[in-house]
Amino acid sequence: MQKDLKRVRVAIIGGGIHGAGILHDLTSRGWKDVILLEKNRIGVGTSSRSTKLVHGGLRYLQRISQFGMVRESLKERKTLMDIVPDIVKPIELILPILKRGGRNRLTIKAGLTLYDALAGSYHLKKHSGLSTAEAKAKIPCINTEKINCAFSFYDGQMDDLALVRRVAASGRFLGGELVEGATVTSVNKDQDGWIIDYKDEMGNVQHLKALVVINAAGPWAHEILNQSNLIPTHRAINNQGSHLIFPDMGIKSGLFLESPKDGRIFFLIPWQGVTLLGTTEKLWSEAPNDVKISEEEIDYLINGCNEYLDPLLKKESIIQTFSGLRWLAVDQGQSISSTSREHSIGYHYSGRGYLLTIYGGKYTSYRSLCEKIGDEITKSFGEFRDTRTHEQGAWIPAHLLEKTLDPVQRFEYRDWHQI
């Protein structure tokens, strides 16, 4: 039976931004012998439930060890804005300084100056200080009684679902294979590489041979390793993040807020005709299939935001909520919020070839991470070629997108929760 098995050089498990990004990276180098298996629809996991920011992450400047990640993300922010300007656009963020509690003006000024410096030639616009009146003009619902002044700075904002779909479609357009509704049940060592067992959309068990396997199943990556009797190389946590959706509050810029109680950062941002407020953090040891915000988290977000607003946000105004799972390798001795968003890679080896598991990572820097993995794979085959994902010519033209992804992929799968 095994002689007739379909063989590929690289099989990717998971159609989130990392799986789709590797498909695109390899096909942009001229490799066509690559397949991506997604159990559901492209982008249905974490990659359509983010805060939608393409950013260096001002908050990560609290640790020197994360400066490199911030700098790389700021460079990628510019690259993505140049390649897919219809999906990734600049957004102004207003950072108010409270009269009582929170970080002081000088600390924030120093952080923003560093943020500008790390962006270097990739900066969008340098930060500036705002009076309370100027902040009010930009964010009418801000409570000027409670704030001393504010800062304005720029980052990127995206349609995350549109981005992951564009990346996956570009991979298919360049000759890669993409199968939705394919649930991988196990990956088994073979003298010739790996044998992947998966169930197709009809529930039939299928087998596939691959020399290299990329486990990009995000929060479900350990489930696949466990089912394959492979011991995970890293300890990981699932950190649930949730957002509340309000009707358009008429703000054109976003608010970057710090909870005066515990120092946690959250955002109130305009997005596609609604206003988003997020995020919270909640730990899971194993990834649940459906994650939903709790009443306690809703109260936490609203109360934290209301420290800055007038009129106050009301629970009754929430239209919907959505939640996603951040899957991170645990840094020893660090709290969850300060556990690095930087990626880690785990390796397992068969008789020939390897299985690579991706831990963590940020949406913003997915392209450079996939490039590093693409470099490694093509070098290991002695067939190195440069990636082309930073070139517009390696992306599917927008008008061909609908023709390249199956019609079934166009359905609405933002399964946001009703309150």
Ligand X SMILES: Cc1cc2nc3c(=O)[nH]c(=O)nc-3n(C[C@H](O)[C@H](O)[C@H](O)COP(=O)(O)OP(=O)(O)OC[C@H]3O[C@@H](n4cnc5c(N)ncnc54)[C@H](O)[C@@H]3O)c2cc1C
What is the C-alpha end-to-end distance of the chain, expressed in Å?
Answer: 51
In terms of CB distance, is 357 or 387 closer to ligand X?
A: 357
Least distance from ligand X to the Cβ atom of residue 197, Å = 10
Q: Phi/psi zone of residue 63: left (φ > 0), alpha (ψ -120 to 50 degrees), beta?
A: beta
Give the separation between CA 44 and CA 186, rounded to whole angstroms.
21
In terms of CB distance, is 53 or 108 closer to ligand X?
A: 53
In terms of CB distance, is 127 or 341 closer to ligand X?
A: 341
In terms of CB distance, is 147 or 216 closer to ligand X?
A: 216
Q: E-assigned strands of 313-384?
A: 320-329, 344-349, 354-359
Give the separation between CA 74 and CA 82, rounded to whole angstroms.
13
Reference 269, options 164, 158, 362, 364; nearest CA is 158
In terms of CB distance, is 159 or 307 closer to ligand X?
A: 159
Residue 206 has which token pair? 């299928």
Whether 89 contacts 156, CB under 8 Å: yes
Least distance from ligand X to the Cβ atom of residue 353, Å = 19
Q: Which residue is nearest to ligand X (CB)?
A: 16
Least distance from ligand X to the Cβ atom of residue 148, Å = 27
Least distance from ligand X to the Cβ atom of residue 81, Å = 13
In terms of CB distance, is 130 or 329 closer to ligand X?
A: 329
In terms of CB distance, is 182 or 302 closer to ligand X?
A: 182
Whether 69 contacts 341, CB under 8 Å: yes
Partners of 196 in the beta sheet?
187, 208
Least distance from ligand X to the Cβ atom of residue 393, Å = 24
Residues that bind ligand X (CB under 6 A): 13-19, 37-40, 44-47, 49-53, 183-184, 216-220, 224, 241, 279, 324-326, 361-364
In terms of CB distance, is 146 or 343 closer to ligand X?
A: 343
Least distance from ligand X to the Cβ atom of residue 364, Å = 4
Residue 248: strand, helix, or coil: coil
Least distance from ligand X to the Cβ atom of residue 156, Å = 9
DSSP-derived letter for residue 312 is: P
Residue 209: strand, helix, or coil: strand
Least distance from ligand X to the Cβ atom of residue 314, Å = 23
* H or E element that contains 302: helix 295-306
Reference 88, options 57, 119, 52, 124; nearest CA is 52
Residue 276: strand, helix, or coil: strand
In terms of CB distance, is 256 or 363 closer to ligand X?
A: 363
Residue 168 has which token pair? 């996956």
Cβ atoms < 10 Å from Cβ of 80:
23
Least distance from ligand X to the Cβ atom of residue 182, Å = 6
List alpha helices for 100-246, DSSP H: 105-119, 132-138, 160-173, 221-227
